[in-house]
Amino acid sequence: MADDEQNKKGGDAPKKPAANFQFPVSTWVVWILILGSIVGLTFLHQRMQAPTHQITEGEFFRLFESNLIAHATIDYAPQSSYPNATFNDISGTYYKADTSGNQVKENGKPVELPFTVSQVLLTSSTLDKLRDSHKFTAVQQNTVLFSLLMNIAPFLLIGLLFWFFFIRQIKMAGKGAMSFGKSKARMLAKDRNKTTFKDVAGIDEAIDEVSELVDFLKDPKKFQRLGGRIPKGVLMVGAPGTGKTLLAKAIAGEADASFFSISGSDFVEMFVGVGASRVRDMFEQARKNVPCLIFIDEIDAVGRSRGVGLGGGNDEREQTLNALLVEMDGFDTQEGIIIIAATNRADVLDPALLRPGRFDRRLTVNLPDVRGREAILKVHSRNVKLDPAVDLSVTARGTPGYSGAELANLLNEAALLAARTGKKFVGQAELEEARDKVRWGRERRSLAMTDENKKLTAWHEAGHALVNVLLEHTHPLHKVTIIPRGPSLGSTMSLPKEDILNYRKKELLDSITMTMAGRIAEEITSGDISTGAGGDIQQATAMAHAMVCQYGMSEKLGMVQYAEDDEFFLGRDMMRRKTYSEATAQEIDTEVRGIISRCYQRAHEIIYANRDKLEMIANALLEYETLDGVQVADIVKLGHFTPPPPPPKIEPPTGAQAATSLPEVPPKAVPPKLPGLGTAAPAAA
């Protein structure tokens, strides 16, 4: 009732300011005890110091007359009752002497002993004698209070530092103790979020799906009049780099709504209850900033299935998930709050999180097609100085399977390459080199290869290139090189003409055949085999196993799936269980081995029937290091090789031209492309 009356009178109840931090009386008593202990320890320290020899006034003057005083300090005292005389304390060291009055030495040095003498009556004449000996230093005698302050000054300094740092931390802890469970969501205000759908490309279907969310945030009554209810939550599922976070920010930017962004890992802490508290606080902040979007990135960090794994039901992550489920049930979309979550592991999410009423809509964000890639390149090239002759559609056709993040990285790498070589614009050649660098790694021209290794690599890649051109169902050959790139010593790159949606059996068999050709070419030139075919064998085995176990392309085993899940969730399946018998497993091994053996034999026949052309390709690679697909096709189909044109000669700049950049090399005539499934694995190091 009191709270209601307060609300009626003037709003919320007054809160105590956090800055008024006061200590109770008991705390001051503790501080007094601490200071008293410091003073006591100071006097105890003085008493425990090295003992000094207390001598009489007569002994002091005998030492002085015998010239045994090493050095001493005179503490001036107030004027005594005697005229022209004062009582003084003298302390210092004197030389140890034997019975004959001679100095005692150890290791060639006289032995000094400390002494003190109190209340020595010194007249003006006596003071003159002491001063003339140049062994005495006069200082003003300190009072007891001054001595005490000098002794405890270091401790006072330490105490002040302790107060400044530690106590201030206690104050902040007093404020932060209540904010420890506050949400870590970062709020992007309406006026700061400039991202719109114009900044998102390549996912047109996803944009269409979320457009109604924008309409709802702008005009909720449009849907409420017809009884419609906007989804509470939208789950975005897609590969990394496809633009899920960018799309969520664009929704908020289009709707002119606040945008809260948080990662799933930000909820989970080692302290019990903190994650649940942060969930509640996040929704409370969202209610104060409607209309708004809450974006939870990598929600699988907190939304994994409950009751599984080794954490048990009291696991902090599960308590956080429970709080999230309750909050999503407790709010209504009429409030103007929409939750968007992103993950690439939707298979491990808790079923209760995916049911209607929480995440009502599941949106798949796919990799962009060729038109989408071109649109993405245009978006990211707004701030890049491209050569007018650059055709981004060519780059888009040559980058199948690239995500939006990879395309942005491609343009950035091309810009860096052009700047490194002193060019004013980014040309097609830089885009092609950046494409190859992003996918396969940078060229390693500094790698020292022996002539034997270089020859073996050339024949290996020539075998891939020859069979690739002669087979009917392989992807067109883009280029073949023996320049080391990334972990490989050489590469044969074949590119599809268009985006690949399905693979036919003939295409897979031809791909395996082309992959086997490198090992066969090695045997021809050296009479031996090497480890260079390791990647080829791995790729061929994976394709053959998929044909038998996943795609039903084995006549003997039929249309049955024998593959196991690649994902292994500890709590869901404590042990991997095979769905087939050991006899079936043996048949699978036999079928896989049979496919590879038949493809190997087929490649063997093709290479031996065209050995002269294989040798021409290998010799051209040894001379020019890189051949494009057109040059290899001329060798295979026409029997002759057309050498590439020499690079343009660049004259060194002179005079006024010295300050300008070097002339640009014209881009290659062959458009850049990207390898698909038909690409042979490069030779391993």
> Has residue 172 got a pLDDT over 60?
no
Whether the CB-CB separation of 540 and 516 falls below 8 Å is answered with: yes
Amino acid 568: pLDDT: 44
Using a 10 angstrom Cβ sphere, with 0-12 exposed, 13-18 middle and 19 or more buried, the burial of residue 126 is: middle
**More confident: 191 or 156:** 156
> Has residue 164 got a pLDDT over 50?
yes
Mean pLDDT of 95-114: 80
CATH 2.60.40.10 applies to domain 370-439? no
Amino acid 15: pLDDT: 43
637/477 Cα distance (integer angstroms): 14
Amino acid 664: pLDDT: 40
pTM given for the model: 0.60
348/572 Cα distance (integer angstroms): 9
The residues carrying an active-site annotation are: 461
Whether the CB-CB separation of 264 and 345 falls below 8 Å is answered with: no
Any idea which of 135-139, 364-368, 607-611 has the lowest mean pLDDT?
135-139
H-type alpha helices, 471-581: 505-526, 534-549
CATH number of 446-563+579-646+656-684: 1.20.58.760
Average pLDDT of every residue of the chain: 75
**On the CB side of 525, how many CA atoms lie within 13 Å of its CA?**
27
pLDDT in tens, 3-17: 444 444 444 444 444
Amino acid 315: pLDDT: 66
Q: What SS3 class is residue 203?
A: coil
State which fold the 186-365 domain adopts. Rossmann fold (3.40.50)
pLDDT in tens, 409-445: 999 999 998 998 888 889 988 888 888 888 777 777 7
Amino acid 580: pLDDT: 81
Amino acid 308: pLDDT: 54
pLDDT in tens, 614-673: 989 988 898 888 888 888 888 888 877 777 666 554 444 444 444 434 334 333 333 333
Report for 120-129, 184-193, 304-313: range of highest mean pLDDT? 120-129
Nearest to 293 by CA among 204, 388, 185: 185
pLDDT in tens, 117-151: 877 777 778 877 887 787 887 766 555 555 566 66
Mean pLDDT of 58-67: 82
Amino acid 597: pLDDT: 94
262 pLDDT band, cuts 50/70/90, is: confident
Report the relative pairing of strands 292-297 and 258-263 from DSSP bridges. Answer: parallel
pLDDT in tens, 513-563: 999 999 999 888 888 888 888 889 999 999 999 999 999 998 888 888 887
